């Protein structure tokens, strides 16, 4: 029984390590220096909240150029007032290395939502 508990604990640790590794394509990407990648987070422009980079919590900012593209309109869906919309960013690698970017969803008064996103970029 003790052996089964050890094996179960080991498998849980392996699963945890794998779930937080940079191999998760949803949270990051490897790029060559000079190449760009656009990614989006869901938001709602009608609330006044916007996604912003948390500079203090991010690492490797000197390796990349980050552009905020703002809320993206989906003309096919004919976006309605108050409807959710994606907020886009473009990251471009300028030097080799790893960057970890943390984003916060911040309101017009500076109030922070509990919503957060983390993105990693490996520049080769």
The model's pLDDT over 31-53, given as tens digits with 9 standing for 90+, comes to 999 999 999 999 999 899 999 99
Task: Please check whether residue 66 lies inside any domain of the structure.
Answer: yes
Residue 69 falls inside a structural domain:
yes
Q: Would you say residue 4 lies in a domain?
A: no
Residue 82 bridge partners (DSSP)? none
What residue numbers bound the domain in which 32 lies?
27-123
Domain count, the chain: 1
With residue 17 as reference, give the H or E element that holds it.
Answer: helix 2-19
Q: Are 52 and 103 in contact (CB under 8 A)?
A: yes
Q: pTM to 2 decimals?
A: 0.73
Residue 7 lies in a domain: no
List the one residue out of 103, 121, 119, 13 whose CA is nearest residue 50.
Answer: 103
CATH code, domain carrying 32: 2.60.40.2020
Residue 78 has pLDDT above 90, yes or no: no
């Amino acid at each position: 029984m003790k052996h089964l508990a050890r094996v179960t604990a080991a498998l849980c640790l392996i699963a945890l390590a794998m779930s937080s590794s940079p191999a998760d394509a949803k949270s990051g990407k490897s790029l060559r220096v000079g190449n760009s990648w656009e990614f989006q987070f869901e938001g709602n422009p009608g609330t006044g909240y916007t996604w912003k980079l948390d500079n203090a919590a991010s690492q490797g900012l000197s390796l990349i150029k980050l552009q905020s593209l703002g809320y993206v309109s989906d003309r096919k869906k004919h976006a309605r007032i108050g409807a959710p919309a994606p907020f886009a960013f473009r990251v471009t690698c300028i030097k080799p290395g790893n960057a970890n970017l943390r984003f916060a969803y911040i309101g017009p008064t500076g109030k922070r939502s509990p919503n957060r996103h983390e993105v990693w970029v490996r520049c080769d």
